[in-house]
Structure 1
Amino acid sequence: MQEFCREYDLPTSGSKIEVTERIATFLTTGKILKNSPARKKQTLPSSYEPLSLQTLITENHRCSEEARAFFKEIIGAKFRFTVTLQNFFKENIGKTYEDAVTFWYEEQERKNDPSYKPNIGAQFEYNRFTRAFFQDPYNKGKTKVDAISAWNEIKSKPGSNVYEPKK
């Protein structure tokens, strides 16, 4: 993708999804999309207060080492910033860290359900491919080596890297 962008003078920076969208727009419309504006680094306000369960989630929330230490103190050593929890922070501005703790425990309960399948972001093509590969009844009994081989084969071809079930 980088080579294609350079060849057609398209910006090469950004996430894989942004670059893919930029290329798709160029191929369908001929328009060159600019990079998204860089995020400004958050600085602590002069009236900094220690984190607590009543700390509000703000638009500029960051999963910082300080926040990680706070949640580990409340939840315990097993605490991790999951993608789902990070999305909770983005989508729940104005709620509190106490709400985030509650959400974290609810997420752990969902993970204990054998039917629970977390959403895999579009940028994680390999993970999405391997999940679909093993869900296909055609691949019953196949190994991870088989999945990697199938991934390498589809990756080497032009077009989508999405797994297509065998018929």
Structure 2
Amino acid sequence: MAKLHAAMSVEEFDDNYFYATELKTFARQLGIAVGRRRKLELEALIREFLRTGTVPLAKPEPDRRSGKSRDKLAAETIVRDYVDDRRTKAFLRDLVHASVPALRDKSGQWYRLNEWRRTQLRAGQRITYADLGNRLLELMRWEGRFPRIPAGRFNNFVTDFWADPANKGKTRADAVAAWERIKSVPGPKTYEAYAALEPSRGPEAPIEDGK
């Protein structure tokens, strides 16, 4: 059986049989994003590459659930109609794992990736899904905790709220109520400031007789 290589002809490709796993590996080597593509789709894209020598351009595809257009999930696709769903996240993970297979998710990576994407687009930058994959790779490789985002005061407050053992078992509604309280008083809008308002977090008060 012949081995897949970038210099092979279309005829040589068609004269041999290749397993789906081989096609996926070869497609990644060529720069073709695998995503959730089927074997026949990969074969067609590889044939086009062997004919032209360039990675096939991807076109937007309709979102079957909403009927709206969404970007074709491919590394070379320019980000225009981005959909932040499980399908997109799985595709971006696929791009990352093509380089570092064992890399694991990191808490906060998607929030920061979306912030980076919006910042780039607002600045008029042209970015592709390969760029998103590279940025996600950087985030997943980040050592230690991510730095705080100054504009995300609410997110920072909620993070500290959950980190306090005194709030174990409380709900998100409790966290939001705490945030609304600290917003209503003068001073810094931090969890530390909120905790200082709560008598129960200070020295335990003496129990009165008969209570």
Report if TM-score (shorter chain) is over 0.5.
no
Q: TM-score range by the shorter chain?
A: 0.3 to 0.5
